[in-house]
Amino acid sequence: MGQRNDILECDELLTIVDSITDGVFAVDRDLKIIFLNRAAERITGFTAEEAIGHHCSEILKSNICRYNCALRETMTTGKAVVNRPVCLTNRSGRRIPISISTALLKDKRGHVAGGVETFRDLDLVERMRKEYEAKHSFENIVGRSKNVMELFKILPTIARSESSVLLEGETGTGKELIAKAIHHLSPRKKGPFISVNCGALPDSLLESELFGYMAGAFTDARKEKKGRFELAKKGTILLDEIGDVSPAMQVKLLRVLQERIFEPLGATESRHADVRVIAATNKKLDKLVEEGSFRKDLYYRVNVVKVVVPSLRERREDIPLLAEHFVGRFNRLRQRDIAGLTAPALKILMNHDFPGNVRELENIIEHAFVLSPGGVIKPEHLPEYLHGTHTISAVEIAGTMKDMESLFILGSLRRNNWRRDKTAEELGIHTSTLYRKIRKLGLKVPAPER
């Protein structure tokens, strides 16, 4: 108790500290709490009387207490921690995102007597982030790029029709997610959504999988099995990787799409296919038609409405939003409290080419969750193959809002062939505002291309 009086003898200083909105607490050399201000009481749910004398990890139960205690780090190295994002669990069990800063606490003689930590409640910031993410997501599709926003606009119109849809895009771009969005927005939303990977099965298995079979149709067919077209009745069926289907199976699919009937193996009567068909492929079907490996008549049947799903390279500005989306998802799945990515880690992601698209980004974040002990995701937590990549972006990504704003403006200018009027229209600002931002940010912008 003498140590506490020695350190905290200034009543005026205590009054000031007690009145600020940031939480403040101090510990002795054993990390036992010797002071807790009112804001810290409000955020943690513990009173000063209840907290004093207890180890700080018992009161401020954060995700870094066990491995990366910021106070222990400061008292060991003498270096302050500034604005480190973490999460604490308050007395009622609610997780609260906070930003912490630490410093050494010294007595009159200049000896280290403990440490002091301040923390700011980021719950409001977190709520604003979630509102922002909700604004830039649609039926579980996340993005804010021009390509994705255009998708958001056309999907409801496509969904209301009964026409077949062809989704064309690279592997991992989220074609099945878009197919589900079309289904959930359609009049068939109360019916089932059935997905079949046509490229993963040989013809004999694919036919029975799609159309089913009757008991006795072949040796092992002891009882009737319904096919996917029948299971999807009054709903939607997704024919994934349709570009890998053999010519013989293409003929049978054409009959279903053209006449809306099919026959299970061993059946003597046709059945009605009351389904909406969405086809997906990572190949260019028009080129397969030219090569003669895909039927032209089937191509026209599945390609009534075509949606080209952009690769992640074509919507690079969505990477930070998608990364935060996956961080939140794995926090919920793994019961973790990762606050996000550091600016250097985000820079590495922004510079990567992502041949595996959104699926690869999801795997990268999952890998980081395995290696990260808590707090934030740093470069060393990312897969090793990412560290050898070189920048491919015209603008180097940095962690400041100024740099990010520069990136978005330059990206929009480039997409619009450096035309200021079109860029301002895309960004939703006045042309004079765009010119003012270009001057303020010191951007070097070439003349418009003709």
298/415: higher pLDDT: 298
CA 219 distance to own-chain centroid: 48
CB contact at 8 A, 264 and 213: yes
Among the residue ranges 107-111, 147-151, 188-192, the one predicted with the least confidence is: 107-111
219/243: higher pLDDT: 243
444/43: higher pLDDT: 43
Which tens digits make up the pLDDT trace of 292-310? Answer: 999 999 999 999 999 999 9
Among the residue ranges 4-8, 112-116, 219-223, the one predicted with the least confidence is: 4-8
Residue type for position 13: L
What are the strands, taking DSSP E only, across 20-151? 23-28, 33-36, 61-62, 84-89, 95-106, 112-121, 137-138, 141-142
Helix (H, G, I), strand (E, B) or coil at 297: helix
According to CATH, the topology of domain 312-388 is: Helicase, Ruva Protein; domain 3 (1.10.8)
CATH numeric code, 401-441 = 1.10.10
| Distances 169 to 107, 289, 341, 351 between C-alpha atoms, Å | 65, 17, 28, 21
How confident is the model over 198-219, as a mean pLDDT?
83
pLDDT band (50, 70, 90) for residue 111: confident
Q: Which CATH architecture has domain 136-308?
A: 3-Layer(aba) Sandwich (3.40)
Question: What is the DSSP code string of 303-358?
Answer: -SEEEEPPPGGGGGGGHHHHHHHHHHHHHHHHT-----B-HHHHHHHHT---TTHH
Among the residue ranges 123-137, 140-154, 351-365, 415-429, the one predicted with the least confidence is: 123-137
HSE-CB for 72 with a 13 A CA cutoff = 12
Q: Which CATH architecture has domain 2-122?
A: 2-Layer Sandwich (3.30)
Residue 3: its pLDDT value, please? 46
In this structure, what are the phi and psi dihedrals at residue 228, rounded to the nearest 5 degrees? -65, -35
All structural domains of the chain with their residue ranges: 2-122, 136-308, 312-388, 401-441
* DSSP β-ladder status, 23-28 and 112-121: antiparallel
Q: How many other C-beta atoms lie within 10 A of the C-beta of residue 209?
A: 18
- Helix axis angle for 319-334 and 123-135, nearest 10°, is 120
> What average pLDDT does the structure give for the chain?
83
| Nearest partner of 274 among 232, 238, 242, 302, judged by Cα | 232
**What is the arrangement of strands in the sheet containing 23-28, beginning at the earlier edge strand?**
33-36, 23-28, 112-121, 95-106, 84-89, 61-62
